[in-house]
Amino acid sequence: MIGEVEEEFRDSVAHISAEGKRVWFFPKKPKGYFYNLRSYLSWVYLTVFFTLPFIKFHGAPLFMLNVIDRIYILFGVRFWPQDFFIFVLGMLIFVVFIILFTVIFGRVFCGWVCPQTIFMEMVFRKIEYGLEGDRKAQMALRTQPWNSKTLTRRILKIILFFAVSFAIANTFLMYIIGSDAVWNIATEPVSHHVGGFLAIVIFSLVFFFIYYWFREQVCLIVCPYGRMQGVMLDKNSIAVTYDHVRGEPRTKHIKKTADQPHGDCVDCLECIRVCPTGIDIRNGLQLECVNCTACMDACDTVMEKTHREKGLIRYASENSVLTKTKLKLNRRIVAYSLVLLALISVEAFLLITRSELEVNSVRTRNTLFTVEPDGKIGNLYNIKLINKTSNEMNIEFRIEGKHASFDWIGHQNKLQSGEMKNGELFIYVPVDELPSQRNDVKLEIYSNGELKATENLVLLAPNKLNRP
Ligand code: SF4
Ligand code: SF4
């Protein structure tokens, strides 16, 4: 509750007891409109997460972030270390987007998109509800003595949690090294893939540790995004908010009585019971709130039962609760939007103008030209080519409007995917096609008949008096 009530809740955190021990939470299973919506969305996310590594485009994965071999593929387009700046800019845009989004919509990302929340609340928590029952049953299970029933449930839970962690670990690895490589690890002798096998084991154990034991502490202790909320949110940011104007003074009386001042909160504590991070949203915006909406559903159910208007806990900003006004554009939102727009424009420009074949050319030092026996004039260039596609290229050089011939010394014209060739290129042009001493020409580089890149060069030639 903001402003009026004691603020002792700020002196402690819900997940650590007065003795300094971990407090285990047993959130009640949420039910309601938002939980259903989040469940449906989670099925979409999970389907995408588990199927994406198997989708291929022109023989290459649609997505791959292979930091080991430095292979980065996004939407089927392969990025090379030379494109790293595009990649970094993409990441920067993502961060700015998250900040901007947070300024306006608070931690909506945490509740609706974050993989940690999706897996914890929509996969592992549901397994738990299925095996151990709802909040009360889980709490009873914790305290009751071990017997064959509790032991069986615990073992089953460990097996299921590890199986899902194993599936996540394998899929996660597929995003790094590709589904084919993970398949090879799974089907070939361990001795052939010791590193890959260890990676799967370690990832599986880490995920198991997170979801079986560490759980909400990822959001409360580890996640930097949660820690940054204080600087990103303002009084106009939308978040899961308790309407203290309407709710206070809270009273346990279910029915309104005219002789006693009362708000709409019936102090049933349902919003706390469903909270996966164990907080009381009525204390106002808190770092621990991951905007999961469980308390909104719980409170709406209570409001319905007590014939009150729904939305006592709802998506709202602090200001909108106080003044009943809607979200307003403020200077920070405008500034972030402009920065975001500028970054997206630059990124789009870089992606559109990104060449599949990177070319660097420079005239070989201390050379002029050669006069060949057949009357052609030769110019020597140092040229570097990088094939940025996933396919082999058959390189062919041409000079626009001239009968030129080429000798790429020591190199064949084939360029494998990702291959870089650096060498000397002799360019021969008939003397009568070089009208002056300095001739601006356009070097065109084709692969399989398709123009892939152009370079502006200057070809030197003898002056008219010294021509053969
Ligand atoms: S669920 Fe609603 S009515 Fe019940 S304590 Fe929470 S805010 Fe008050
Ligand atoms: S306070 Fe509400 S929205 Fe925030 S984490 Fe708890 S249940 Fe979820």
DSSP string, 305-365: HTT--S-SEEEE-HHHHHH-PPP---HHHHHHHHHHHHHHHHHHHHHHH--SEEEEEEEPT
In this structure, are 409 and 321 located in the same domain? no
- Nearest Cα to 236, choosing from 108, 326, 296, 313? 326
Domain closes at, from 301, 335, 354: 354
Last residue of a domain, one of 354, 372, 391: 354
C-alpha to C-alpha distance for 107 and 233, rounded to whole angstroms? 9
Residue bearing the CA closest to ligand 1, atom 2:
299
439 within domain boundaries:
yes
Contact (Cβ atoms closer than 8 angstroms) between residue 87 and residue 205: no
Burial class of residue 255, CB neighbours in 10 A (0-12, 13-18, 19+): exposed
Residues 310 and 401 in one domain: no
- In terms of domains, do 23 and 119 share one? yes
Residues 231 and 98 in one domain: yes
Cis peptide before 189 (omega within 30 of 0): no
Residues 291 and 392 in one domain: no
d(CA 173, CA 165): 12
272 CB less than 6 Å from ligand 2?
no
Q: Which atom of ligand 1 is nearest to the CA of 267?
A: 5
Domain encompassing residue 361: 357-466
* Residue 139 backbone class (left: φ over 0; alpha: ψ -120 to 50; beta: rest): alpha
What pLDDT was estimated at residue 255?
Answer: 59
Q: Do 239 and 130 fall within a single domain?
A: yes
* Cβ–ligand 2 contact at 390 (below 6 Å): no
Residue 369 sits in the same domain as residue 412: yes
pLDDT: is 153 or 354 the higher one?
153
93 domain-assigned: yes
Kindly give the number of the ligand 1 atom that is closest to the alpha carbon of 298.
1
pLDDT for residue 92 is more than 60: yes
Domain membership of residue 234 (yes or no) is yes
Whether residue 298 has its Cβ less than 6 Å from ligand 2: no
Helix (H) or strand (E) holding 23: none
Ligand 2: does its nearest atom lie under 6 Å from the Cβ of 108?
no
User: What residues are paired with 360 via a beta bridge?
Assistant: 384
Query: 9 in a domain, yes or no?
Result: yes
Residue 30, preceding peptide bond in cis (omega within 30° of 0): no
249 and 332: one domain? yes
Same structural domain, 308 and 409: no
Task: Return the structure tokens found at 308.
Answer: 């009150």
Give the distance (Å) from ligand 2 centre to CA of residue 375: 83
Give domain status of residue 201, yes or no: no
Q: Tell me: the pLDDT tens digits for 103-125?
A: 777 888 889 999 999 999 999 99
**Interacting residues of 126 by C-beta distance below 8 A, sequence separation 6+:** none
Domain finish residue from 354, 381, 406: 354
Query: What pairing do the DSSP bridges indicate for beta strands 71-74 and 450-460?
Result: unpaired
Residue 29 is predicted with a pLDDT of: 95
- In this structure, the answer to whether residues 10 and 107 fall within a common structural domain is yes
Contact 231, 101 (CB under 8 A): no
Any domain includes 101:
yes
| Ligand with smallest separation from the Cα of 277 | 2
Same domain membership, residue 428 and residue 298: no
Domain membership of residue 43 (yes or no) is yes
Q: In the prediction, which pLDDT does 2 show?
A: 43
Q: Which of 291, 296, 297 to mutate to test the pocket of ligand 2 (most atoms within 8 A of CB)?
A: 291
Torsion of CA 328, 331, 334, 340, to 10 degrees: -130
Closest among 98, 106, 119, 133 to 50, alpha carbons compared: 119
Using the mean position of ligand 2's atoms as its centre, give its distance from the Cα of residue 275 in Å: 5
- What whole-number distance in Å separates Cα of residue 157 and Cα of residue 132? 9
CB atoms within 10 A of CB 163: 13
Between CA 122 and CA 108 the distance in angstroms is 16
Residue-level pLDDT at 73: 83
CB distance 275 to ligand 2 below 6 Å: yes
My answer on whether 338 and 417 are in the same domain is no
CATH number of the structural domain spanning residue 416: 2.60.40.10
Domain count, the chain: 2
The pLDDT, as a whole number, for residue 258 is: 58
User: Does this model's pTM top 0.75?
Assistant: yes
Segment 213-233 shows an average pLDDT of: 86
Q: Is the pLDDT of residue 82 over 60?
A: yes
User: Ligand 1 within 6 A of 281 CB?
Assistant: no
Sort strands 357-363 and 313-316 into parallel, antiparallel or unpaired.
unpaired
Residue 167 covered by a domain? no
